[in-house]
Structure 1
């Protein structure tokens, strides 16, 4: 047993489950040990209470996959693990991390003769059943070591995973992937909002979304998901009009600025998420006051 996962949230836990389904046994650890024990009981994996226990449970050379929230949490885990590892080990950051963070981490690993790879993982809560789409960056040697695990985690051994290039490329490709996701989601949402507003036609949005799933050029997994929830509720009255942004949309917009590449759809989709979070409220109030000032137009009070 050479492979261990740190972080057993929705993605990490289901990745561990999928590996178990493929009869690959691994070591696992999580901040809450009761979560680790429960998953180990379910899968047959080896439960480890601490990072030191995880490292000790694995045969050299080890592969440690971090599946934690990007940022401080991942950095803390990385800094804690690094002194425990040995030359020849491989650390994989599977978080939605910024690709620019990968370069210094790889350098820190290299000082100890340790490999580093960055992996962008897509698939969400459906990855356990359908497999994950994984794009990773690292050396050819790291890619060769990861291959059997990619084959098990992906939808098929040959589809759904890619060695994208050197360190940083995996997270860069995943960043762009998420930017495209923002744009696609926004376009679908706007289209259905337009149809919902055409009340005189009494359009059946569930039927339309189901129709478009078959033979249409806009068919997609996002449309599949939309068809599922619209079949249950087309009004969505209990849903607050608030959409969070994970951070990768911002990084995509910044990358476009830095590289001088126009990405208006992805960037505007990000702006719409900010607007849904109430960050457009003050600007809208300013607009109302200006319109009142020059034209005497009525102002709607809360």
Structure 2
């Protein structure tokens, strides 16, 4: 197929390469002139595609995606299809779809997981939208996903793809937090000689074996204590959105919430809170905390 991709960063650029290796004709655009872009403007990208067009958007969520969707609404024609593969919030998808529908432009939201390894391993894809649009883009999805029967799903209507990816990332937060807590517990015990070696041994035969554990083993191979890695973990927003959505749906999510709070605290967000706790302990009980 022929399509355009907007956003050629770590994800978008690798997706473009995988699609080309799969035989698709891809026109790439990025705002950075240092990227491997084929055209230097949205107008040029749209002009390079034959109607009905397919344009895949891979830019940061929020204002950047809003701007691109609005611009495409003024450039594309009735029957064209826009696919948002970024980490957009699912409620924004519904707004974008309605905005484009006024001009007869179709819309799919696709949650994409695979990171920098996706070019070789393939990407897990979670789509939201009309089945007709999903079927139209299916050859693209089939090339991007891993070889085999899994890795691709039409999750539901518009918003469903990014809702599924949001939940996926919340689960990912919890899994990484659990691995981290287990590692630290073993690090503090005199009964374990090498926590990294123990966790690496779980890659085969264990019920917790996973790609995340494979990645841990890769990181620990050159730094078994991980002390070269700063103890700071940013959060990209999806776990926060999942906790908010779960609260609205009446679903308790203590594991995801705990992992989210841990990441926020790692950035110093809990320092003032702990200062208050330490001060109050000193006031009522004479407890003095030493640094």
The bucket for the TM-score relative to the shorter chain is: over 0.9
**1:256 pairs with 243, 246, 260, which one?**
246
For 2:130, the equivalent position in structure 1 comes to: 139
Structure 2 match to 1:108 = 99
Give the paired residue count: 291
Equivalent residues of 1:2, 1:61 under 8 A apart: no
Alpha-carbon offset, residue 104 of structure 1: 1.4
Which runs of 5 or more residues in structure 2 are unaligned?
none
Are the counterparts in 1 of residues 2 and 24 from structure 2 also a CA contact under 8 Å?
Answer: no
1:129 alignment counterpart: 120
Structure 1 unmatched runs, 5+: 38-46
Normalised by the length of structure 1, the TM-score is 0.94
Distance across 2 between alignment mates of 1:215 and 1:109: 49
Cα deviation, 1:78-106, whole Å, max 9, x if unaligned, reads 11111110000000111101101111111
Counterparts of 2:192 and 2:85, CA distance in 1: 45
User: 1:8 aligned to 2:8?
Assistant: yes
Query: Does the aligned pair in 1 maintain the 2:6–2:30 contact within 8 Å?
Result: yes
TM-score of the aligned structures, taking structure 2 as reference length: 0.97
The 5-angstrom pairing of residues 158-169 of structure 1 reads: 158-169=149-160
Contact 1:150–1:157, Cα closer than 8 Å, also in 2 = no
Structure 1 residue 195, shift from structure 2 partner: 0.2
Contact 2:123/2:144 (8 A) holds in 1: yes
Q: 4+ runs of 1 displaced by more than 4 Å?
A: none
Counterparts in 2 of 1:218 and 1:159: CA distance versus 1, 3 Å: same
CA deviations on 1:142-193 (whole Å, 9 max, x unpaired) are 1111100000000026421111111110000000000000100000000000
Q: CA separation in 2, counterparts of 1:124 and 1:16?
A: 14
Partners of 2:225 and 2:22 lie apart in 1 by 41
- Specify the alignment match of 2:284 in structure 1: 294
Deviation at 1:34, TM superposition (A): 3.0
Give 1:49's match in structure 2, choosing from 36, 40, 45.
Answer: 40
Counterpart residue number, 2:24: 24
Aligned to 1:223: 213
